[in-house]
Amino acid sequence: MPSGINLLSIFSVATVIVHGVGILTAAHAVMVVQSSRGAIAWGISLITFPWLAIPLYLIFGHNQFQGYAKALQAASEEHHKLVSQVYSNILKFKAVLPEKFFILGKLAEKFTPLPFTTGNEVKLLINGQQTFDSMLQAIAKAQEYILLQSYIINDDRLGNEFKEALIAKAKQGVMINLLYDKIGSSKLSRDYLKSLRQHGIRVSGFGSSKSKGNRFQVNFRNHRKILIIDGQIAFMGGLNIGDEYLGENPRFGSWRDTHLKIRGAAVQCLQSVFLRDWYWVNKEALQVCWQVQESSKYNQTALILPTGPADRLDNCNLFFLNLIERSQTRLWIASPYFVPNNSILNALQLAALRGVDVRIILPNHPDHLIVYFCSFAYYNDLQEVEIKLYRYRSGFMHQKVILVDRDIAGVGTVNLDNRSFFLNFEVMTFSIDSQFIQSVENMLQSDLNVSRAIDLNTYHQKSIWFKLAAKVSRLLAPIL
């Protein structure tokens, strides 16, 4: 009997402590969580179900990545001379924007020291075969160094083709630095990494739990995909490295994605993004080429926009809001996920109400079921303002593309969801060049031709269980 009483007493004390911690954590959530809905959801959960909610809050509740921000600040101070030299080279190619882009240019300057630059060639690479062939050819021609960053690297046929290509260049004396995301590439084998390191390739994993203050912050991911060759050629976009991105995974079939091949000052801008991420992981400033090589064929104006949870403001969300709000005639967006926050959703609705041709292209089949269900919960919001929704039918669509009027187009890593806008480290390339915009329009028109226009009324015909799954998924939107 006494032992039973002791156990009961211990459980009672533990319950009081856990609920007390839950109340204190709820107060913390109210103070730091940005959205009122998110603060309310966390607060109620932490008070009502503290045993479950407290560990979840430790992992998913943080929206500030202070360790990364401090590392960037330290990098700027420690390497001030290098940074000054770098930006002075880039600023020589700073674009003088037409009047209608003046405000957009000013906004970009608030978010990044990397300006709109001239003297660029920005080329669309459509789908995996074209992208990976071009990347491997560029790697084979590298003379000085290779900087490669990817959210996912798979230990499969394509992954090993890249590994062997990198090893071959390392044997020729080319400096190679590889950065991968620890969560995105969690299945990457140790043998794969060991083989690279044995040949002198510097390999590092980006993880948000690097410091004590970020120990539980696994919610942040480095979603960027960047390849730099000798500071002269760059690649970026939506494609990770693996067989499935060539359409060789039976689950997805054909894989629809978009990447960019870039020359000119924008290469140095992308290079600086990679180097900041490398510094966060290794506290090391790499010696690279900062001499801009202008494109001999084109003079395209482009902006490299890196965003992430270390930003002082919600740069990604604010920049996309501005793009949506400036649309006058056309706003086409292709994204594998549609989980917009209220500000983005309202901006899309306002654009449609202004008479803008708003079209959103999503996959017809999911890769993440919860995110797929969540998109259906927005059908009523889209129907009310006659936003056009399309489901891509020719395989799985993973591209992240935005086209605004005939003014500007962007390609990169940002999905139309809260994770990309607030939690992930992302990067986009935007161009106001008419030829590039036309190529993006042609590409998206081809995608629309193999997409199915959705009758948004079909949502009302779904079963009660389907609607419940959609509504519950939408409740999870802040962390999807």
Active site residues: 223, 225, 230, 398, 400, 405
The first and second tokens of residue 64, run together, are 């500030």
Q: Which of 209, 237, 221 is nearest to 151 (CA)?
A: 221
DSSP 400-428: -EEEETTTEEEEES--EEHIIIIIEEEEE
DSSP 305-352: EEE-TTSSS-HHHHHHHHHHHH-SSEEEEE-S-EE--HHHHHHHHHHH
Q: Which of 167, 211, 212, 210 is nearest to 192 (CA)?
A: 167
Q: Which of 161, 158, 200, 156 is nearest to 178 (CA)?
A: 200
β-strand partners of 178 = 148, 203
Dihedral over alpha carbons 428, 170, 245, 360 (to 10 degrees):
0
What does the alpha-carbon distance between residue 476 and residue 447 come to, in Å, rounded to a whole number? 29
Q: Which of 319, 310, 331 is nearest to 405 (CA)?
A: 331
Q: Which residues are CB-neighbours of 290 under 8 A, at least 6 positions away?
A: 85, 86, 89, 231, 268, 271
Residue 243 per-residue DSSP state: G
Give me the phi and psi of 152, to 5 degrees please: -125, 130
Q: What is the CB neighbour count within 10 angstroms for residue 368?
A: 11
E strand or H helix that includes residue 462: none
The first and second tokens of residue 288, run together, are 């690279």
What does the alpha-carbon distance between residue 18 and residue 24 come to, in Å, rounded to a whole number? 10
What does the alpha-carbon distance between residue 347 and residue 20 come to, in Å, rounded to a whole number? 40
